[in-house]
Structure 1
């Protein structure tokens, strides 16, 4: 192994250690039999049992789940349409409109949405405003994935369908949608993952009302980082990891299918 390779491996190990050791500590101390979390005392599942009996935390989790499901559904529908439009019409303004929320800093997007809801729409902040905000920044992620799938498809398939007398709706329903379905599902899972653990945009668009999981965790941390906070963080981390793995596998299959069609 050359000297430059050793340096690269050392830098990679340090970077991954910096990222994952704190996460491992959070998971480990969620099983710690001590409220202070100053040192390891012993193994226990008490904090997970306490979490399941915490009505406010369960309400926050339910609200976050409703928001994530609603936002991911809306973003998947609109993002798929946006991906199709960008691929088909080749207008330079469309990618700018769709992908700007993705590139924009979250704090700027949160403030702009807050001002838009209050000063333009005169909308009372709550669950609806959060769903609209989450849908706004998730659309671009779905559009990117769907567009990547469409770019690898053979356009002669759609031309053949039209030559055989299929209407645009029939072509979309019977040919386009089944072919892009892995990308659509991957985009939906990605949107769900981004929505359920988003803090910055949720913080600006929440208002005063029912608790939301990321905000609830932040409120608990301001008092002390108890094992109960570690427990809910571990469960949220596990849910996010599962969604990312599923979305990654679907996107890998999507890219393989696109590559296979491009090579024909």
Structure 2
């Protein structure tokens, strides 16, 4: 239970940091469970589960994640089948991203840092690496329609409905709003008072982030480490310096 709560909080923080340069900055993730009724109903691990303590037990994590995130879609009797299929597909894409993020990690053991003995295990990439991968999938998501393919109704790409949806691509049925103004129904908090980058030409630029409304400038004093020196052996000392920076926020 504690691991789930910690993972959920870390996911929220990472999502916000990853999308901080976009109008939609993962604000709707606040609609995620608050770890009381939903998690209290979660099933306990089966008797066949054994934690070896050597690597990340991804299989069990995926099983639990699937049961938790897919259950509302599979058990729901409301809403359209198309939206249920979309959510189930995107959940599966997220889990596959974790599978793809597994790597072999090793640690050396020996005198004075030698590698006479090496211990290796399977572990996940850093969560920020996984978040960047998911963001790239989000930006390249495919718009789909729900129609008959043979005897079944399936999700197929709207522009290229001759091929099935790939298992590695995120999909959506309805285009997102522009997220310029607050709309809780669509998970948009708007961009008023959001920080922007005056010199950028990307999605974090003041022109795009502020949706043409303009921006306000203010100065802020920050304390940072400076004039750092390395001392043998083995520590670093730094001074604290004050610097004034200019910030910009959307009107």
- Fold agreement, TM-score > 0.5: no
Structure number with higher helix proportion? 1
TM-score of the two chains, using structure 1 as the length reference = 0.25
Larger relative strand fraction: 2
Task: Give the TM-score taking structure 2 as reference length.
Answer: 0.26
Greater length-normalized contact order (CA 8 Å, ≥ 6 residues apart): 1
